[in-house]
Amino acid sequence: MRWRRGRAVLLALAALGVLAFAGCGRDDFENDPRPAVPAEITVKIGEDGVLVSPAAFGAGLANFTIANLSPDPATLAIEGPTSAISDEIPPGGNTLLKAEMDTGSYQFSAEGPARVEPFQLEVGPDRPSGQNDLLLP
């Protein structure tokens, strides 16, 4: 009887040892860190020009929320290392454009309204990883 109790204790200790060894993880992971959180950029197409805010951001994915405040339908054209064009935006309407922006000089221009001044900006180096950022839906 004493022998059975000792054997049960030995088996329980062995099982705990296996669980403890299996539960140990690695601190260094082979996979790449998460990409940067997308930059949220607003663009206003007005009667006198295009305005982009913020006027400086780093390279990576950017979500452009575009508002057409001119009296004419318009499209936004982005020209630079990365080129993109939005769908037609009705007067008073808005749309969303996603683009992977590379480092460099860009011109944001509106096609449609007459005499609208373009907006120039510089996209900086890659933004840091979003590894420890809380990602919200």
Model pLDDT for residues 113-128, shown as the tens digit of each residue: 878 899 999 999 888 7
Average pLDDT over residues 59-80: 95
Would you say residue 1 has pLDDT above 60?
Answer: no
CA dist 100 and 57 (Å) reads 12
Query: Residue 119 domain-assigned?
Result: yes
Look at residues 135, 84, 81 and name the one whose alpha carbon lies nearest to residue 109: 84
Q: What is the CATH number of the domain that holds 96?
A: 2.60.40.420
- Domains identified in the chain, total number: 1
Give the pair of three-digit tokens for residue 40: 């949220």
Is residue 84 a part of any domain in this protein?
yes
Share of the chain above pLDDT 70, in %: 79
Query: 75 pLDDT exceeds 60?
Result: yes
pTM over 0.95: no
Query: Where in the sequence is the domain holding 110, given as residue range(s)?
Result: 39-126
